[in-house]
Amino acid sequence: MSKVFNTNGACRPDLHYMVDIRPKLKEIKAMVDAGEYFIVNRARQYGKTTTLHALADYLKDEYEVVSLDFQMISALAFEDETIFVSAFSEELLDTVQTFPEEISIRLKEFATGTARINSLQMLFKVLKSWCAASPRKLVMIIDEVDTASNNQVFLDFLAQLRAYYLKRPATATFHSVILAGVYDVRNIRRKIRPDEEHKLNSPWNIAAKFRIDMSFSAQEIAGMLREYENDHQTGMDIDMIADLIYTYTSGYPYLVSCLCKNMDEEVCGTADFPDKKSAWTKAGFFEAEKLLVNDSNTLFQSLTGKLQDYPELRSVLYELLFTGKPIPYVPQNQYIETAAMFGFIKNDGGNAVISNRIFETVLYNLFISEEFSTSAMYNTAVQEKNQFIVGGHLDMRRILEKFVETFDYLYGDQNEEFLEDAGRRYFLLFLKPIINGVGSYCIEPQTRNSERMDLVIYYRGEQYILELKIWRGNAYNERGEKQLSGYLDHFHLKKGYMLSFNFNKNKVVGVKDIVVGDKRIVEAVV
């Protein structure tokens, strides 16, 4: 059976095309060798389970590895200490092949409820005896600790692990303990007792910092694509496709797999991309990216659901997306910490930025979709849509002309602050129904700031570069024209577009053509 790209559950190297994670496993093993307790705290679908399965196999020749999944334990078990001890003991018996006879007997008593006392204290005394009797050091791995994150029993379980950790080496205990989940323990405590957020002492404050980068680099993605190419001989430019995938995902494992799976299974075989050779191209990639950002998968549902669970995230993300105002990455700030924990943002040179272009586009689409029913800009674009597509191509000049006309009519008398905060949003509202279902867009992160933002629009295999900017005088504008010209060189284009929001009372509203070197720029002013 041939391998496939997997987006559901843990990946297996015998069944799925995978990035080689052995270098990451080596780094994690170094932490295990040092006897550290830690939590693999990453966003949803970030490859945690795949990594833990591979890690258990990587460690098995040197350690006795106990690999548990708290999803296998009923949620009801976490509400009562006695039930939890029984369920935990049963999972241990199912997972570990052999125990010393006395340990096996005691665990069976816990599991069946026939022990004289079913308590965490008694369970850990048995675990201590097991650690002392084991000829090899014991490593415990627990996945999906979020399952237990809303109850006191789990905190008591962590407290017992901590107590035995602090007593070593005088007392036998697990050599290393690894937990995996989205929430870190401090946030788990906040979730359990929101009225006691000032209590920051954690039963897991012994944990070492997990600093290993679990995202995939362009080189790692290329390695996976080489294996695929050896099987299918598509003739793809491996490094180019790998760079595109990394550029749009920042190496987020699930998104990497989704794009590859889309090219392999969804794009390939369509009218425009009849075979794998045509699918694994730049045009095929952008078709795969369009399918992904328009998908309602569990990851996107989880992310957007967090905006309702944590309303403060909405204002943070809105500022980052639409105003370009820099927000310092201060991990002690609860809003920043929460946004990073769920994977929305990352630290880029001390500033908070959206984690990747895919998330960014999904969030842009979400925010502007909330205004569809009430937006005059959106409704105008819907009504006039046919005039913007000529012979299957976007007429960007006509789009700018109609936008300028509509924007000036609706909002021309608004103040500068309104234009700075709303101008970009209104253009995306205008653009969305025109390209919807056929094209896509993204924002170039290097150019996003409070005064300038470059929008790259993809439509039927063609690219259109549009710079949205705030007017800051002729000198600044000329500098912007030269910057756009240089950016067009990067994309090997001779024509670009510029939309300026001008606050001067004597401004001339409209669209004109200018020439910069060998480039033609269509410049619109509102």
Report the phi/psi class of residue 510: left, alpha or beta, with left for phi > 0 and alpha for psi in -120 to 50: left
How many folded domains does the chain comprise? 4
Query: By C-alpha distance, which of 255, 265, 224, 280 is closest to 18?
Result: 224
Q: Do 91 and 121 lie in a common domain?
A: yes
Tell me which of 313, 333, 358 is where a domain ends: 358
Same domain, 445 and 514: yes
**Residues 92, 69 share a domain:** yes
The answer to whether residues 55 and 93 belong to one domain is yes
- The enclosing domain of 27 has a CATH number of 3.40.50
207 domain-assigned: no
pLDDT at 201 > cutoff 60: no
Among 188-202, 365-379, 435-449, 488-502, which is the least confidently predicted range? 188-202
Residues 281 and 313 in one domain: no
Query: H/E element holding 496?
Result: strand 495-501
Q: Is 420 contained in some domain?
A: yes
Range of the domain at 493: 372-525
Query: Do 252 and 345 fall into the same domain?
Result: no
- CA 450 distance to own-chain centroid: 24
Please indicate, yes or no, whether residues 281 and 310 belong to a single structural domain of this protein.
no
Give CB contacts under 8 A, 24+ apart, made by 470-476: 470/419, 470/420, 470/423, 470/500, 470/501, 471/500, 471/501, 471/502, 471/503, 471/504, 471/507, 471/525
Beta strands in 368-451 (DSSP E): 389-390, 393-394, 440-443
For the chain, give the mean pLDDT.
89
Instruction: Give start and end residues of each alpha helix (H) in 250-356.
Output: 253-261, 276-279, 282-293, 298-309, 312-318, 334-341
In the predicted model, is pLDDT for residue 196 greater than 50? no
Q: pLDDT digit string (tens) for 256-313?
A: 999 999 999 999 999 999 999 999 999 999 999 999 999 989 999 988 888 888 888 8
Question: Within the chain, how many helices (H) and strands (E) appear?
Answer: 20, 14
pLDDT at 192 over 50: no
Give me the residues paired with residue 179 across strands: 39, 142
Q: Are residues 182 and 55 in the same domain?
A: yes
pLDDT in tens, 122-148: 999 999 999 999 999 999 999 998 877
Following DSSP, what letter does each residue of 78-125 receive, concatenated? GG-HHHHHHHHHHHHHHH-S---HHHHHHHHHHHHT-SS---HHHHHH
Q: 293, 323, 341: which is the final residue of a domain? A: 293
Beta bridge partners of 496: 521
Does residue 475 sit within a domain? yes
pLDDT in tens, 425-470: 889 999 999 998 899 998 876 666 556 778 999 998 899 999 988 8
CB 71 within 8 A of CB 371: no
Rounded Cα distance, 83 and 478, in Å: 72
What is the band of 240 on the pLDDT scale with cuts at 50, 70, 90?
A: very high
Same domain, 31 and 109: yes
Among residues 285, 343, 349, the alpha carbon closest in space to that of 310 is found at 343
Evaluate whether residue 460 is within a structural domain: yes
Same domain, 390 and 351: no
Q: Is residue 389, in this structure, part of any structural domain at all?
A: yes
> Which pLDDT value is given to residue 419?
62
CA–CA gap between residue 172 and residue 137 (Å, rounded): 10
Q: Is the pLDDT of residue 79 over 70?
A: yes
155 shares a domain with 47 = yes
pLDDT tier for residue 106 given thresholds of 50, 70 and 90: very high
Beta strands at 519-525 and 510-516: parallel, antiparallel or unpaired: antiparallel
